[in-house]
Structure 1
Amino acid sequence: MKIQALLEAPCEWLHPGEQNSRIVLSSRIRLARNLSRFPFPGWARRTEREKVLALALPAAVGLSAMKEAVLSDSMDHFTPVEKQVLVEEHLISREHAGRNAGSGVVVNRTRTISLMINEEDHFRIQAFKGGLQLKAAWRIADKADTELDEKLEFAFSPKLGYLTACPTNVGTGLRASAMVHLPGLVLSEQIGQIVKAVNRIGLAVRGLYGEGTEALGNLFQISNQMTLGESEEEILERMHKVIGQVVQHEENARQKLLEERPRLVVDQVSRAYGVLANAYTISSKEALNLLSLVRLGMDMGLFPDRCRTIVDEECLIKTQPAHLQLSQEKKLSTEERDALRADFLRTQLRDVPPPETGQLSSPLHS
């Protein structure tokens, strides 16, 4: 299967980035673009969407970033499980997973760039980097955008900028986002204040899989909401500054927890490790929330740093429902997935020693 070949290749954005990779897992740039003289996908007939796909798919495959593309196909050629795997990998949206004939996707081998064709817009160009590397991700997306613009005619207004299906994307069509891990702010009950503060300055805070989803595993997506009236550079600068401030708040929250409530930290991390290492059935939600606490323990030095790869590259992604089903090449019931997930986690955590709690657990703080 093509999707199996994709998953067997190393995923670059899962590797630590240059800055704040403990807290900022990944950076993503998404550009919305549409072809002129074609209706937006939501208004288009199937024959019109298929015409767009016939133009867009070869243009996307021909990008320099796609020299080693391992996935390029129409959405009706994927099974429901394969589509959900792509959602869990953050390569397509949940909405795009519901598309069939007339829509498509192209992904390169390292999963640093993904193009959705005929989602809400004719093109959704997505570029990914590990850690806080918005500008590096922007360079990937911008290069792909430039190459496509040389082959195709985009819908553009000298007054408004790029025209998009949703008015909130008109202008640059740029959405910059970062996936941040904020267990310190959650444990210290400060997350609500941070979300409100970020929202007040025109940014959005969403869950693990974007708009309308839950922040499982203390993972949040922070993104800009304005695309009109600001240049790409201004958007990226503002995003970088705000995310840097959120990272600082998370660092301060963790430090305060260590100083004032070390037993709480040790208890939460140790319980999480104990359940994950010994459970024989566990849900996706519980696994993500417990893995978040183990990851926090790694950041605080309670586990060897070599174990981070096991959590970030193996457990966080491969325990998701569709990944488990794909590994078994069949549809599984909830009970079967929960049992398989627990077996997988126990196996992976054999190489992770129990947390070193001596130094943190000794003070008798509340």
Structure 2
Amino acid sequence: MEPFSAWMQAQGPDADIVLSSRIRLARNLKDTRFPNHMTADGAQTMLARVEQAILGVQGGWALHFQKLADLSPVNRQVLMEKHLMSPAMMEDPIAFRAVAIDERESISIMVNEEDHLRLQVLLSGLQLSEAWSVADRLDDTLEATLDYAFDARLGYLTACPTNIGTAMRASVMVHLPALVLTRQASQVFTTLAQIGMVVRGLYGEGSDAVGNIFQISNQVSLGLSEEEFIHNLATVTQQIVGRERHAREYLQHNAELMLADRVERAWGLMSHARIMTSEEALRLLSEVKLGQDLKLLPATKSTFAQLTLVTRPGFLQSQSGRELSASERDQMRATLLRKRLQDEAQSA
């Protein structure tokens, strides 16, 4: 079976538009330097201390602790592509970093990224409260063993001042092709910025918004409770989902021919192409997904999130069992997508 994470199953409320809900908590240990100021010995000591705490947690969490230095560059990249660790974890010092992941790949704990610990829970669809419930319980379990850096006035202390307070980042990953096509996305994103939300690309800060996939999250974590931040984001997300659905209805009723031509061209290219770049694949997948959601194209067994992963360089190299050149990846990407669309549509 291919290594797809549970959050990629397209289940949960509004999962056709909300690809995932994520809660991330930043935590640091008391009286210990932040990772960017630690010595090599201090970082190794921190790594061992956190490993012992994670492996000792009770309550059926079943977390697998993995030092990044023991993973190949390709396997590290796959973890990043599956959103189980951040792009920053790919950078040196790899020797002082680790990640703990549960069997369903819904929970991951990054060790020695910007902060000592980055706990995150990923669920499919709009399930922010459910993700927070899991993250909160795991956080309490770890805090019973680890002494967190906490200030009664400022809250949890973090390496970046914007994360102090709750030190929580709640985010949703959404697919908004109709808002982009109807030129409403920029207006929506401007409004989000005015109410304290930030919009980023597929892999968060510093990444591009390809495939009409966007991450929306709270910009600061101080001043409100975790539940209030989550409520605000959930409310905003529901409004965005409503606007995306309205934009899709508009396209169906007012630009039916253009829409049908666009999604069928995308299906045709993906069903017959022999070479495909990563960016082109995401763009075409986005349009195919829109066509499937509107019943203009046949459905496939693989979800949009799963097909997106299939296009990624690390995943392709992991499947092939060796490093691939850019040209080889373009050929393999086209072959995998072509086979999935043709075979799965026939058997769906």
Q: TM-score range by the shorter chain?
A: over 0.9
Change (3 A) 1:170 1:125: same
Aligned to 1:86: 79
Unaligned runs of 5+ in 1: 1-6, 355-366
Provide the rounded CA distance (Å) in 2 between the counterparts of 1:81 and 1:41. Answer: 24
**Displacement of 1:83:** 1.1
**Correspondence for 2:294 among 293, 296, 300:** 300
Would the aligned equivalents of 1:66 and 1:107 in 2 still touch at CA under 8 Å?
A: no
Aligned to 1:340: 332
- The partner residue of 2:304 within 301, 312, 316 is 312
Q: Secondary structure at the match of 1:154?
A: coil
CA offsets, 1:92-146, max 9 Å, x none? 0010111411211000110110000000000000001100000011011111100
8 A contact 1:208–1:216 mirrored in 2: yes
Query: Could you tell me which amino acid in structure 2 is paired with residue 145 of structure 1?
Result: D
The C-alpha deviation readout for 1:194-252, integer Å capped at 9, x for no partner, is: 11111111100000000111111110000001211110011010000111111111111
| SS of the residue 1:151 aligns to | coil
- Name the counterpart of 1:289: 283
1:121 is aligned to 2:96: no
Tell me how far apart the structure 2 counterparts of residues 182 and 40 of structure 1 sit (CA, whole Å): 37
Native 8 Å contact 1:303 1:352 kept in 2: no
| Aligned residues of 2:5 and 2:82 also touching (Cα < 8 A) | no
**CA deviation after TM superposition for structure 1 residue 164, in Å:** 0.3
- Tell me the residue number matched to 1:243: 237
Q: Counterparts of 1:1-366 in structure 2 under 5 Å?
A: 8=2, 11-64=5-58, 67-69=61-63, 71-98=64-91, 99-305=93-299, 307=300, 309-312=301-304, 314-353=306-345
Secondary structure in structure 1 of the residue aligned to 2:36: coil
Looking at structure 2, the residues matched to 304 and 271 of structure 1 have their Cα atoms a distance apart, in angstroms, of: 14
Report if aligned partners of 2:19, 2:305 keep a CA contact under 8 Å in 1.
no
Amino acid at match of 1:26: S
SS in 2 for 1:186: helix
What SS does the aligned partner of 2:94 have? coil
Distance between the aligned counterparts of 1:61 and 1:192, measured in 2? 45
Report the number of matched residues.
345
Identity of matched residues, %: 42
Cα distance in structure 2, aligned partners of 1:64 and 1:136? 20
Q: Which moved more, 1:311-320 or 1:22-31?
A: 311-320
The secondary structure found in structure 2 opposite 1:101 is helix
Counterpart Cα distance in 1 of 2:341 and 2:4? 21
**Any conservation in 2 of the 1:291–1:311 contact (CA below 8 Å)?**
no
Q: Which amino acid aligns with 2:67?
A: S
Structure 1 counterpart of 2:189, which letter? V
- Deviation at residue 67 of structure 1 after TM alignment: 4.1
Instruction: Give CA deviations for 1:260-313 in whole Å, capped at 9, x if unaligned.
Output: 1011110110010000000000001100110111111111012344x2x32435
Which residue type is aligned with residue 336 of structure 2?
A: F
* Offset at residue 34 of structure 1 (A): 0.3
For the residues of structure 1 that align with 2:303 and 2:266, how far apart are their CA atoms?
13
**Letter paired with 1:45:** T
Secondary structure at 1:29 match in 2: strand
How far 1:189 sits from its partner (Å)? 1.2
What do residues 176-201 of structure 1 show as CA deviations (whole Å, max 9, x unaligned)? 00000000011111111111111111
Amino acid in structure 2 at the alignment position of 1:341: R
Alpha-carbon distance between aligned partners in 1 of 2:2 and 2:247, rounded to the nearest angstrom = 37
**AA in 2 matched with 1:29:** I
TM-score normalised to structure 1 length: 0.91
CA-CA distance at 1:59 after TM superposition: 1.4
Between the aligned partners of 2:206 and 2:337, the Cα distance in structure 1 is 28
